[in-house]
Structure 1
Amino acid sequence: MAGKRPSFTDEYLIRHFKTNPWGQYTIAFLGTTLFGRLKWYAAHEPRIFKENPCILNLGGHLGADKIQNVLALIDQGFLRSLQNHQPNLQSFYLQMGTDHLTENGLSNSAVQDYARVVESIREEFPNAQIILTAFLIQRGLSETAIERANDALRYIAQQDSKPVEFLPFGPDQKGIMSSDGIHLTSDGNRKWYHFLQGDIDNR
């Protein structure tokens, strides 16, 4: 049939969100290994990192360090397939675009691409909450650079016709980043987990 949109065929990703029972997730983490690493901690430190059966954690599976990778998956039908399998998703937490960070924050093209991801989620899940989690201080960049990038996320959040939230991490980031400037320390992962869990609990 002419004009028919292609089916999403990435079996690796589909295995992560096709569940039995159908539609079990209400919250989705879409983003980098900053989300994905929490799954490792839930398996190895379950007394602190509680696994939530309502959370679909796709952190680290989307190539979300680069926003274009997420857009490519969306163009292939990722969100449409996700909606077919998980129609009960009510909240989306986003963390992506870390490879685009510079001393100037985010480029105009990166901001536009990020906004396209938000718009695409809104199209498939019109009533869902969309939460843009802040960039942490990282990669040897100055606090000013990270604040510029976070200002761009605040701008995106204000443009959507329905509420999109920017979720700031807060100023106390001492000791959360490892020496490589990319990965969180164990203490950093604990703070990140409690930060996200606290926001989820308050909704």
Structure 2
Amino acid sequence: MIGIIDYGAGNLKSVHHALTKLGFASEIVSTEERINESKALILPGVGAFKDAMDNLKQVSLINCIKENVQAGKPILGICLGMQLFYETSFENGEWEGLGLLEGKVVRFDHELKVPHMGWNNLIPGPQYEADNGIGKEVTKGEYSYFVHSYYVDPENKEEVVFYSDYGLEFPAVVQKDNIYGMQFHPEKSSETGMKLLKNFGELIK
């Protein structure tokens, strides 16, 4: 069972619906017990970084999430959920993240319209494998649906599976060991998003 973590800052039902459509058992979970019982986890997220971290603190799930990840349980962060994996965000201040991955979250600072909203294509990065892993059967140029004003500046570029380009190249999909992140919304990204969710589900042992 894939546990979709409910901490008051996520688009839960659409993720649950997409997993059900793909044939994966999933459940919206909000307690340590159910998180610990899940075979894999998804951390969704919409809204502001600080608010999301405050919510996780209020429901006392930060240590539980970290312990499950350190034990090797697969976890997927979606949109803001992916950004929460990193050490620091500079969204309206400076805020500490979960620290599961090294890097920072910064605002787009160029002449293009912010937020970056709509469809954009995927560019294979160092971690991409065409026939294996999270990027299996997803090819260069496929499109995903983004809505964000901030992006990840990773310490380790080799963890990037796909980039996208919006005035600069930024990570669209990342992976380190059992930790996966997607800056876009796979559940809103048509066939490509469903392939990526399917790949995540199939990686769960």
Same fold (TM over 0.5): no
Give the TM bin, normalised by the shorter chain: 0.3 to 0.5
With normalisation by structure 2, the TM-score equals 0.39
TM-score, normalised on structure 1?
Answer: 0.39
Higher CA-based Rg: 1
